[in-house]
Amino acid sequence: MDSAEIQALAQALIHQHGAAFGAQLHHDANSVELTPQPVPPALRGEPAYLAALEACSALGFIAVDAETLAQAWQRQSERSNQFDVTHWPDEPRDFGLSGADPAQAFAHCPRNLGLYGVLPTAEWVGRMARAGVPTVQLRFKSDDKAAVAREIKAAVDAVKDTGAHLFINDHWQGALDAGAYGIHVGQEDLDVIGHRDLETIRTSGTRFGVSTHGYAEMVRAHAVQPSYIALGAVFPTTLKKMATAPQGLARLAAYVRLMKQYPLVAIGGISEDMFPAVRATGVGSVAVVRALVNAPDPEAAAKHLLERMQATA
Ligand SMILES: Cc1ncc(COP(=O)(O)OP(=O)(O)O)c(N)n1
Ligand SMILES: Cc1nc(C(=O)O)sc1CCOP(=O)(O)O
Ligand SMILES: [Mg+2]
């Protein structure tokens, strides 16, 4: 196939999927602008791969994700003996996501973690757990080791008798020491937690959630077989500076189709009015910070968000 024919395939793919991935340019608080990205250097020469690499970059996927997708389009084409531009890849085996050893997986957690409050202090954790939020996370940012240990212990104590599941962000050793239900880590944390420490967490039975922000990170998260996978940031967030652009609902839905073997959590800029659309993608949990912490009446906000979760179950 010559380069004009590969270009034609790429254009067909863009034409087919541009409406879903590109047409999210609504000018409201939830707008997600997907900017075309430069095409990364090709690592192989097959037409399906090359066309997909070009098209996925044009559809706004960053280099590592365009590469991951292009490989998946290639595998899908080989498997089905055709380049079906209508079928966006969503088969785990096309992303190399099958064949993991279940015995090496982290402990299971509920498939639907429900409303998930990501909270800055133990006091907030206790408050929201008592308000009925089923999954809470202590996201306490401090370099003071003693303060971190105190806050983790207080958070573990605060959820006792509430039935809430408590995850500790970042501080995995403190979480193990205090007997927390689970740990949440980001991709950078995966870089620094060594194999031996991952084994320590896994064999302790503590649940282990991992953040992801696109296809390449999902593949990486799968390599450790976590208890759940968080998908973000769905919408723009002002809470922290993100290294990647907001993903938007179309990508979120595609991620859910691919990763449905895991409990999935959507996070990032999700306000109450967006709960139905986010839940419609199939995620079992919606994580929020500001929708609870910045609400004039956080208990009332929790009640409304819980009702939204129920209504979209
Ligand atoms: C449920 C959930 N998802 C994602 C994150 C982000 O975690 P991380 O990437 O470790 O970033 P920080 O929260 O540490 O800034 C999260 N905390 N919870
Ligand atoms: C802590 C965090 N992690 C994200 C990710 O995408 O990994 S987005 C995010 C902030 C979520 O806060 P809010 O609900 O107030 O936008
Ligand atoms: Mg973290």
Which residues have CB atoms below 5 A from the ion given as ligand 3? Answer: 169-170, 186
The per-residue pLDDT for 165 is: 98
List, for residues 241-261, the tens digit of each pLDDT value. Answer: 998 889 999 999 999 999 999
Instruction: Please tell me the residue having the least CA distance from ligand 2 atom 16.
Output: 269
pLDDT surpasses 90 at 44: yes
Instruction: Supply the Cα-derived Rg of the chain in whole angstroms.
Output: 20
Q: What is the pTM of this model?
A: 0.96
Which ligand 2 atom is nearest residue 234's CA? Answer: 6
Judge contact between 53 and 205, C-beta under 8 A: no
Query: What would the two tokens of residue 45 be?
Result: 């020469």
The per-residue pLDDT for 217 is: 98
The per-residue pLDDT for 32 is: 60
The per-residue pLDDT for 21 is: 83
Instruction: Please tell me the residue having the least CA distance from ligand 2 atom 9.
Output: 268
The per-residue pLDDT for 30 is: 55
Which ligand 2 atom is nearest residue 270's CA? Answer: 14
The per-residue pLDDT for 26 is: 41
ipTM: 0.99
The per-residue pLDDT for 306 is: 98
Query: For the chain, which residues make up each domain, given as ranges?
Result: 3-93, 104-311
List, for residues 170-223, the tens digit of each pLDDT value. Answer: 999 999 999 999 999 999 999 899 999 999 999 999 999 999 999 999 999 999
Q: Which residues of 268-279 are buried (b: 16+ CB within 10 A; e: fewer)?
A: bbbeeebbeebb
Ligand 1 centroid from CA 20, angstroms: 27
Ligand 1 centroid from CA 118, angstroms: 8
Which ligand 1 atom is nearest residue 185's CA? Answer: 10
Q: Ligand 2: which of 133, 220, 235, 239 to mutate, judged by most atoms within 8 Å of the beta carbon?
A: 239
Please tell me the distance from the alpha carbon of residue 251 to that of residue 262, in angstroms, as a whole number. Answer: 17
Alpha helices in the chain (DSSP H): 3-22, 47-58, 63-80, 122-130, 145-159, 172-178, 187-192, 195-204, 215-224, 248-259, 275-279, 290-293, 298-311
Ligand 1 centroid from CA 289, angstroms: 11
List, for residues 94-122, the tens digit of each pLDDT value. Answer: 999 987 888 999 999 999 999 999 999 99
Res. 33 pLDDT band, cuts 50 70 90: low
Q: Which of 3, 97, 7 is nearest to 52 (CA)?
A: 7
Q: Which fold has domain 104-311?
A: TIM Barrel (3.20.20)
Please tell me the distance from the alpha carbon of residue 243 to that of residue 249, in angstroms, as a whole number. Answer: 18
Ligand 1 centroid from CA 213, angstroms: 11
> Could you tell me which residues are annotated as the binding site?
137-141, 169-170, 189, 211, 240, 269
List, for residues 259-298, the tens digit of each pLDDT value. Answer: 999 999 999 999 999 999 999 999 999 999 999 999 999 9
List, for residues 53-107, the tens digit of each pLDDT value. Answer: 999 999 999 999 999 999 999 999 999 999 999 999 999 999 999 878 889 999 9
